[in-house]
Structure 1
Amino acid sequence: MARIDNDRDRLIFALDVADADAARALVVQLDDAVTFYKVGLELAMAPGYFELIDWLKARSKKVFVDVKLFDVPATVAAAVKRLNARDVDFVTVHGNQSIMEAAAAARTGDTRILAVTALTSLDRGDMTDLGFDCDIGDLVLSRARRALAAGCDGVVSSGLELERLRAEAPDTLVTVTPGIRPVDNDAPPDDQKRVMSPRRAILAGADHLVVGRPIRQAADPKAAAEAIQTEIAAAVAERLASR
Structure 2
Amino acid sequence: MTEIPDCRDRLIFALDVPDTDAARTLVETLGDTVTFYKVGLELAMSPGYFELVDWLKARGKKVFVDVKLFDVPATVAAAVARLDARDVDFITIHGNQGIMEAAGAARKGKAKILAVTALTSLDRGDMTDLGFDCDIDELVLSRARRALEAGCDGIVSSGLELERLRAEAPETLITVTPGIRPVDNDAPPDDQKRVMTPARAIAAGADYLVIGRPIRQAADPAAAATAIQDEIAAAVAERG
The aligned counterpart of 1:137 is 137
User: 2-side partners of 1:123 and 1:86: how far apart?
Assistant: 35
1:1-243, aligned counterparts within 5 Å?
Answer: 2-240=2-240
Q: Deviations over 1:71-124 (max 9, x none)?
A: 000000000010011100000000000000000000122100000000000000
Unaligned stretches of 5+ in structure 2? none
User: 2-side partners of 1:103 and 1:146: how far apart?
Assistant: 13
User: 2-side partners of 1:228 and 1:171: how far apart?
Assistant: 25
Specify the code of the residue in structure 1 equivalent to 2:171.
D
Give the secondary structure class of the aligned counterpart of 2:66.
strand
**Could you tell me whether the CA contact under 8 Å between 2:215 and 2:222 is conserved in 1?**
yes
Unaligned stretches of 5+ in structure 1? none
Percent identical residues: 83
User: 2-side partners of 1:137 and 1:8: how far apart?
Assistant: 29
User: TM-score when scaled to structure 1?
Assistant: 0.97
The Cα of 1:5 is off from its aligned counterpart by 4.4
User: 2-side partners of 1:96 and 1:128: how far apart?
Assistant: 19
| Length, aligned pairs only | 240
**Could you tell me whether the CA contact under 8 Å between 2:85 and 2:109 is conserved in 1?**
no
Give the secondary structure class of the aligned counterpart of 1:190.
coil
Q: Deviations over 1:124-179 (max 9, x none)?
A: 00000000010000000010011011010000000000000010222221100000
Specify the code of the residue in structure 2 equivalent to 1:83.
L
User: 2-side partners of 1:139 and 1:4: how far apart?
Assistant: 26
The Cα of 1:7 is off from its aligned counterpart by 0.9
User: 2-side partners of 1:2 and 1:165: how far apart?
Assistant: 14
Q: Deviations over 1:9-46 (max 9, x none)?
A: 00000000000000000000000000000000000000
**Could you tell me whether the CA contact under 8 Å between 2:5 and 2:207 is conserved in 1?**
no
User: 2-side partners of 1:38 and 1:197: how far apart?
Assistant: 19
Give the secondary structure class of the aligned counterpart of 2:148.
helix
Specify the code of the residue in structure 1 equivalent to 2:53.
I
**Could you tell me whether the CA contact under 8 Å between 1:2 and 1:207 is conserved in 2?**
no
Q: CA RMSD in A?
A: 0.8
Give the secondary structure class of the aligned counterpart of 1:170.
coil
Q: Which runs of 4+ in 1 moved over 4 A?
A: none
